[in-house]
């Protein structure tokens, strides 16, 4: 505070200002302390900036930043060049390939788990679509490399969790694809808005059906933090790190989430979300960027390593081989704690066995501590600590449920223009339909007497030479019966034909 008093401050800028509202999609209680600078005698003007805020959030920003005479400048969220589409097809990988063939410029594919992000990126690379992946568990260097490769067009497709967000401003992003449902419409609006920023035509696609809705609900349940569970995690942390009642440690702790969860038989996702909640409430800080994984590579031939495993009945080698491809060609990252759980043993035992393999000349092993950093911000008071934030926890759970239900309503919608429905959520009313979302196209297809659909099909066949009816249906995002009727009409009028491979081609 003394340092702030010494500065010549003439403007206080609050970016991501929705974080000051409990109704915002990333509520951070620390933002509520911003107005305290007034008590230091600073009278500078305040500017608060946010890309997505409902009327309720805007009111909170004005109130919590103590800006009674605030002037609000609000730009319309209408993006007339961005087509909002939802597809209900189950074959995600096939549809991804079709979309990436059709739209060849930069793309971002969002998924809700680190494993899914990695798996999808690997699948695309195997199918000749150059992609990188990005999530919060990568090191700073790995994140920067993935970002640079995407920006430089070395890998035009980025597969990412919502950790890929800050500072993303690339002009040629043509499409955003959500293969999992976003957690809120605020998140969706921000992520979809990264396409078509130069005004060129762009598309945002959500894969949404009953299966994905069920996954979203299950994810919500797994991540749901009750007051009792928060107490449980907090008490286990104090036990695990040997913190005395009333003590406030003055140093950070190395913390392995997997080992902690194994010891107390806790769900990792639910525990992780609880730690993030405790961080938002300023009870502790949880630094995931402290995470550096070990890596290893086999030095001998596959036959030799398999012979060794058989002769020595080495289960560890078999587990590593099953879990990691390419381990004979390059270094792969491993998590000793996860391997230990599979073998029902400890991480230290796994490390000792890997070191033994290295001494025998079979592998090269780069051991790094796979930990995060945990720092306590308040003294230990057990249940009292959590009871102080109990009302916040309950309120946040209520808000998260409302946001999830809003996403489900958006996905289930088949009658209202998607732009109109989305803007209505943000308290912006528009009179006319967008005409380019999947709902509008489906509704208008009958008006065009199939002319519009026919033109799109012929364009597809010009690009791809030959396609099956299934491939065309998936690419069109129009109801199946309309596409099939149009295909029959094109066949009858000799615009297209069926070849020997039972595929359709343009005449």
Q: pLDDT value at position 359?
A: 92
Q: pLDDT value at position 480?
A: 73
* Cα 382 off chain centre by: 33
Q: pLDDT value at position 486?
A: 84
H or E element in which residue 375 lies: strand 372-376
- 370-413 pLDDT, tens per residue? 568 899 999 999 999 999 999 989 998 999 999 999 999 999 99
Which stretches of the chain score pLDDT less than 70?
25, 166-167, 289-292, 368-371, 444-450, 477, 479, 481
Count Cβ atoms below 10 Å from residue 350 Cβ, excluding itself.
24
Beta bridge partners of 432: none
Phi, psi values for residue 104, rounded to 5°: -95, -5
Q: pLDDT value at position 447?
A: 55
- 50-108 pLDDT, tens per residue? 888 888 899 999 998 988 889 999 888 889 999 999 998 888 998 899 899 888 889 99
Question: Which residue has tokens 């008006």?
Answer: 447
Q: pLDDT value at position 348?
A: 79
Nearest-angstrom CA–CA distance, 271 and 261: 8
**Which three-class secondary structure state does DSSP give residue 381?**
coil
CA dihedral 204, 164, 128, 84 (to 10 degrees): 0
**Angle between helix 227-240 and helix 268-280 axes, rounded to 10 deg:** 90
End-to-end CA distance of the chain: give it in Å, rounded. Answer: 76
Nearest-angstrom CA–CA distance, 168 and 261: 34
Q: pLDDT value at position 80?
A: 92
Q: With 0-12 CB in 10 A as exposed, 13-18 as middle and 19+ as buried, what is 492?
A: exposed
pTM of the model: 0.71
Q: Are 208 and 87 in contact, with CB atoms under 8 Å apart?
A: yes
Closest CA to 129 of 175, 159, 97, 103: 97
Q: pLDDT value at position 445?
A: 57
Q: pLDDT value at position 295?
A: 85
DSSP label of 135: -
Q: pLDDT value at position 167?
A: 67
Q: Are 429 and 77 in contact, with CB atoms under 8 Å apart?
A: no
Beta bridge partners of 83: 203
Q: Give all strands (DSSP E) within 137-233, no chain letters.
A: 157-160, 173-178, 202-207
Return the structure tokens found at 149: 């490769």
The distance between the two most distant Cα atoms of the chain, rounded to a whole number of Å, is: 84
* Cα 112 off chain centre by: 5
Q: With 0-12 CB in 10 A as exposed, 13-18 as middle and 19+ as buried, what is 211?
A: exposed
Q: pLDDT value at position 326?
A: 76
Return the structure tokens found at 59: 């009111």
């Amino acid at each position: 505070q003394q340092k702030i008093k010494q500065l010549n401050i003439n403007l206080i800028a609050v970016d991501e200002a929705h974080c000051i509202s409990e109704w915002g999609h990333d509520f951070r209680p620390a933002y509520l302390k911003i107005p305290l600078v007034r008590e230091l005698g600073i009278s500078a003007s305040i500017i608060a900036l946010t890309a997505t805020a409902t009327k309720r959030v805007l009111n909170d920003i004005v109130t919590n930043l103590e800006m009674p005479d605030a002037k609000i400048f609000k730009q319309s969220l209408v993006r007339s060049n961005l087509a909002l589409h939802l597809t209900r097809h189950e074959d995600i990988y096939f549809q991804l390939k079709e979309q990436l063939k059709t739209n060849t410029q930069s793309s971002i594919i969002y998924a809700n788990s680190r494993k899914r992000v990695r798996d999808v990126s690997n699948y695309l690379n195997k199918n000749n679509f150059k992609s990188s992946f990005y999530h919060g568990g990568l090191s700073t260097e790995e994140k920067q490399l993935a970002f640079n490769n995407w920006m430089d067009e070395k890998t035009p497709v980025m597969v990412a969790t919502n950790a890929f967000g800050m500072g993303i401003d690339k002009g040629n992003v043509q499409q955003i694809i959500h293969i999992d449902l976003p957690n809120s419409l605020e998140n969706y609006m921000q992520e979809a808005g990264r396409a078509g920023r130069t005004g060129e035509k762009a598309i945002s696609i959500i894969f949404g059906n009953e299966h994905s809705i069920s996954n979203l609900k299950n994810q919500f349940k797994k991540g749901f933090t009750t007051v009792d569970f928060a107490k449980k995690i907090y008490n286990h942390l104090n036990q695990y790190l040997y913190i005395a009642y009333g003590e406030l440690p003055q140093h950070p702790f190395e913390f392995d989430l997997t080992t902690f969860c194994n010891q107390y038989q806790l769900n990792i996702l639910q525990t992780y979300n609880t730690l993030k909640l405790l961080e938002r409430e300023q009870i502790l800080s949880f630094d995931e960027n402290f995470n550096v994984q070990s890596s290893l590579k086999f030095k001998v031939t596959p036959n030799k390593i398999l012979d060794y495993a058989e002769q020595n009945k080495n289960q560890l080698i078999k587990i590593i081989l099953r879990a990691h491809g390419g381990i004979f060609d390059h270094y792969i990252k491993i998590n000793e704690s996860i391997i230990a759980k599979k073998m029902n043993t400890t991480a230290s035992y796994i490390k000792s066995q890997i070191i033994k393999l290295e001494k025998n000349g079979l592998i090269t092993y780069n051991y790094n501590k796979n930990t995060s950093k945990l720092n306590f911000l308040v003294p230990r008071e057990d249940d009292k600590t959590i009871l102080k934030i109990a009302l916040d926890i309950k309120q946040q759970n209520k808000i998260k449920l409302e946001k999830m239900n809003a996403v489900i309503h958006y996905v289930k919608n088949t009658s209202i223009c998607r732009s109109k429905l989305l803007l209505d959520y943000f308290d912006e009313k528009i009179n006319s339909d967008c005409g380019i979302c999947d709902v509008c196209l489906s509704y208008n297809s009958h008006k065009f007497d199939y002319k519009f659909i026919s033109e799109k099909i012929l364009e597809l066949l010009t690009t791809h030479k030959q396609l099956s009816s299934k491939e065309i249906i998936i690419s069109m995002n129009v109801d199946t019966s309309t596409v099939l009727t149009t295909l029959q009409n094109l066949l009858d009028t000799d615009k297209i034909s069926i070849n020997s491979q039972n595929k359709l081609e343009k005449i």
